[in-house]
Amino acid sequence: MSPNAESKEIENIPGLEKVDPVKVEKYEKLTNPLKLNDETMLKIRKIFEDEMDLGLQVNPKGCLQMANTYIPQLPDGSEEGEYLALDLGGTNFRVLLLKLEHGKMADPIVKHFHVREDIRLGKGEAMFDFLASCIHQFLESNNMLSRKLPLGFTFSFPMYQKSLSCAHLVSWTKSFNCEGVVDQDVVKMLNDAIHRRGDLQVEVAAILNDTTGTLINGAYLDGTCSIGLILGTGSNACYLEKVERVKNWEGEKPSDIKEVIIDIEDGAFGDNGVIDFIKTEYDREVDNKSLLVNSFTFEKYFAGQYIGDIVRVILVKLAQEGIIFGGKLSTKLLTHQCFNASLLSSVEQDSIQMTTTNCRKICQDLDLEYDDEDIAILKHICYIVSDRAAKLVSITLASLLDRMDKPGLVTIAIDGSLYKHHPRLDALLKKYIAKFAPNRQFCLMLAEDGSGKGAGLTAAIAQRLRKSN
């Protein structure tokens, strides 16, 4: 699918024509490392493909987990019944009820819960007992305690799956550190907690993460969907892989299955140093100030948690070199993550609309002295950082399109705040995917709430698989 070359999102690229040529020369030297040429992009692609192959071996190597989800089917419209979903990935989580009839989904019933710090840092068994009690509260409030319901469990922490309903926690992240859960089967722990109560007719049928849920939800919305992508605070992708390529399969590999969803965990692409040749001094500074240094290398080039701070670090460097803001720094600009993805999107909105309103307000809020040249440079920085982000995401998606080699149109389901709110990203992705995979038809689709709806749909798929077996 060719992008719309006439779209203002691509056309209105900020320039530096009105900036002092001496400043421009210094600026170009400092920012050229952020610009990735075609030769570099093809090199990244080859490394990405090699790392994927390494991750699918019996004894996986490399930096990509290439996790087998054991989900061999996508929604096909035959899904029927009521399904629960539990979406756990942070201090707040949700329980949902999905009702499917003739493949159509009614608006889910949703209830939100908060996980207190003492639960997040306490005994693992107590944490799962808490989750079971929340499921009980949800069902009781909806007069459904007597219903026998399958549950899809979205568990957004690093895990190693052994089947569709068996996954061992690799490590806690975020604000969780429950004792006695690492290396344990979290599905079994939740099922045990449900059974301990003795008053619930609920069984965990499937476990997944939000990326897999996005693909499942996308396939429910569009039957041509074969790739799921998260572009939010963090980033990850999954896709349909040919079963014959998947060597790391627990147990006997079913002979009647042709494809399975593979969760790449590509946020970690480069953790072993294989793409350090694109790492700039700005990327190193952002990494060094991150919570997990030398981890999640790939997503630190573009994910929402980091992309704004890359811009901030560049601005600080340019000010120190006397190129911007009269060589003066403010206390606010020196504050880690004061310039976030939302501000970057606002600057890009100004570039597209050929205005300066957002840029001026941002500079004022950051206590910066600025002029028209500074605004032009700010716009240009945000564009080249966004452009690099789009290229890096696109080269992996182009690789997946060629790898799957599907005839006809392939839809890529995307969720995440960065994709939803960045005004230029969709157009740039279309442009670069088309460039790097010129013989593939594709479209991008926003598929929200894969962690909720996708979990319920996966439970429905699990039920269908059980019946067919």
The answer on 101 and 15 residing in a single domain is no
Give residue for tokens 């799957």.
404
Q: What is the CATH number of the domain that holds 134?
A: 3.30.420.40
| pLDDT confidence of residue 248 | 87
* Pair 278, 135 in one domain: no
Report yes or no on 225 lying in a domain. no
Structure-block tokens of residue 349: 């909105």
Same domain, 27 and 86: no
In a domain, 359, yes or no: yes
The answer as to whether 108 is a domain residue is yes
Domain count of the fold of the chain: 2
Catalytic residue among 87, 129, 210, 415: 210
Mark whether 86 and 204 lie in a shared domain: yes
Tokens representing 309 are 């701070």
Alpha helices by DSSP H, listed for 201-264, are 210-221
Based on the domain organization, do 181 and 312 belong to the same domain?
no
Same domain assignment for residues 119 and 183: yes
β-strand pairing of 235-242 with 259-263: antiparallel
End residue of a domain, out of 208, 226, 248: 208
Domain-located, residue 193: yes
Backbone angles phi, psi at 104, to 5 degrees: -100, 140
Domain boundary (189, 208, 227) is at: 208
Residue 130 lies in a domain: yes
User: Does pTM surpass 0.85?
Assistant: yes
In a domain, 219, yes or no: no
The residue annotated as part of the active site, out of 45, 87, 94, 440, is 94
The answer to whether 94 is a known catalytic residue is yes
| Low-confidence residues in the chain, pLDDT < 50 | 1-6
- The predicted-structure confidence for 238-280, as pLDDT tens digits, reads as follows 999 999 999 989 888 888 899 999 999 999 999 999 999 999 9
On whether the CB atoms of residues 382 and 340 are closer than 8 A, the answer is no
Q: 285 is in which domain, residue-wise?
A: 8-51+270-446
92 with 46, same domain: the answer is no
Choosing from 45, 87, 156, 426, the catalytic residue is 156
Q: What is the pLDDT of residue 466?
A: 87
Q: What pLDDT score was predicted for residue 8? A: 72
CA angle 229, 213, 67 (to 5 degrees): 75
Same domain, 89 and 127: yes
- We report the CATH number of the domain holding residue 17 as 3.40.367.20
Q: What is the pLDDT of residue 3?
A: 36
Residues 407 and 282 in one domain: yes
Residues 434 and 318 grouped into a single domain = yes
Tell me, yes or no, whether 378 lies in a domain: yes
Among residues 193, 208, 223, the one where a domain terminates is 208
181 and 287 belong to one structural domain? no
Please indicate, yes or no, if residue 275 is contained in any of the structural domains: yes
Going by C-alpha positions, the residue among 204, 348, 274, 257 that lies closest to residue 46 is 274
Which residues, other chains included, contact 107 with Cβ-Cβ below 8 Å and sequence gap of 6+? none
Q: Determine the Cα–Cα distance for residues 249 and 63; give it in Å rounded to an integer.
A: 18
Cα→Cα distances 189→1, 112, 167, 182, 205, Å: 45, 21, 10, 11, 13
Q: Residue 276 and residue 280: Cα distance in Å, rounded?
A: 9
Domain identity same for 357 and 428? yes
Burial class of residue 67 in the structure, from the number of CB atoms within 10 Å of its CB (0-12 exposed, 13-18 middle, 19+ buried): buried
